[in-house]
Amino acid sequence: MNKKINLVIERLNKQLGLFLSVAFGVFLFVLFFQPFPLEKFDFNNRLIFVSGLGFIISLFMFLVRVAYPCFVGRDTIKDHEPAIPSFLGGFAILTLSSVAFAFYLRFVGSIDITFYLMFKTIIICLVPPVVARVYDTILDLKHRNELLLDKKRLSDKPVSIKGSDVSDKMIDLAAENSGESLALCVMDIVLVKSADNYVEVIYKEDDVMKKKLLRNTMKNIEQLTGQYSFFVRCHRTCIVNTIFVDKLDKNDSNYWLIIEGFDEQIPVSRQYLLRLKEML
């Protein structure tokens, strides 16, 4: 439960500016353009009443975009991703806000609900999901731009060992106590993971990710790959080829690597984090 609460706080801090901006925009619009009949309120009560409309907007944006996805188990949402699909989230905010506005106007403001008034309510409540959609799009574009910059930087990175080209260097990953081995070009090895008394080698062959289990230890693999600067230990269970790394990502206090074409998240421990950042 504490982890969920911490996740809610973290995501709220990142989106609080969005919620307050939208709520304040609705507050100013209703206060100055008065789409609802507010003549019965004096100035101070009008401010309080209109503030309630802004609060309704921010409340439902918080519930839909932060609280709901965090408490239904999605605790690995990336910063650039919307908490739930934009269309569903926008529709939920629009529907809930419109209904809440109608009840608030009728039972708090004692305003008669008409078809025209509901039409204006829906138009006003349509603004928050539109703004949220633009916000998510901007975040996604920024993330894509960062990935492209990372790829460019990685593609420009010199791949060498003591000044020599390694694009055709082979490495023989032999299994202990058996004649089985796997000879691969060092540029095709994506990562090596520990699997109990075995190691799992993930490599690229004809642009397809493949896996091979060998009876060996991570210590032996680290010695074999240690002469190549682009192989880095990122976790006690994993050695990764930084050439294939798309991004170092984090959530709360956890770090992981994203590799293009590989669905799994590669864990990163703080012990190896500094070295990894230097390589990336």
* Domains of the chain from N-terminus onward: 2-154 (no CATH), 162-279 (2.40.50.1020)
Q: What are residue 84's phi and psi, to 5 degrees? A: -135, 165
Tokens 């999901």, located at residue: 129
| Whether residue 67 has pLDDT greater than 60 | yes
Q: Would strands 238-241 and 245-251 be described as parallel, antiparallel, or unpaired? A: unpaired
Q: What secondary structure does DSSP assign to 125-145, as a single string? A: HHHHHHHHHHHHHHHHHHHHH
Q: Which residues contact 172 (CB under 8 A, 6 or more apart)?
A: 181, 182, 183
Amino acid at 152: K
Could you give the count of Cα atoms lying within 13 Å of 104 in the half-sphere of its Cβ? Answer: 19
Task: Tell me the pLDDT of the chain averaged across its residues.
Answer: 84
From the number of C-beta atoms within 10 Å of its C-beta (0-12, 13-18, 19+), residue 67 rates as: middle
At 108-149, the pLDDT tens digits run: 999 999 999 999 999 999 999 999 999 988 988 887 787 677
The pLDDT, as a whole number, for residue 252 is 67
In order of 13, 42, 172, 260, the CA distances from 150 in angstroms are 27, 57, 30, 12
Residue 212, both tokens:
């091979």
At 199-223, the pLDDT tens digits run: 999 999 888 899 998 888 888 888 8
Q: pTM higher than 0.85, yes or no? A: no
The secondary structure element, H or E, covering residue 203 is: strand 198-205
Tokens 């864990």, located at residue: 267
Residues 17-47 as b/e (b if ≥16 CB within 10 A, e otherwise) read: ebbeebbeebbebbbeeeebebeeeeeeebe
Q: Which of 264, 259, 268 is nearest to 236 (CA)?
A: 268
**Higher local confidence (pLDDT), 190 or 77:** 190
| Whether residue 151 has pLDDT greater than 50 | yes
| Whether residue 163 has pLDDT greater than 50 | no
Q: In the chain, which ranges are continuous DSSP H helix?
A: 2-33, 43-62, 68-71, 86-103, 115-156, 218-225, 270-279
Amino acid at 149: L
- Percent of the chain exceeding pLDDT 90 equals 40
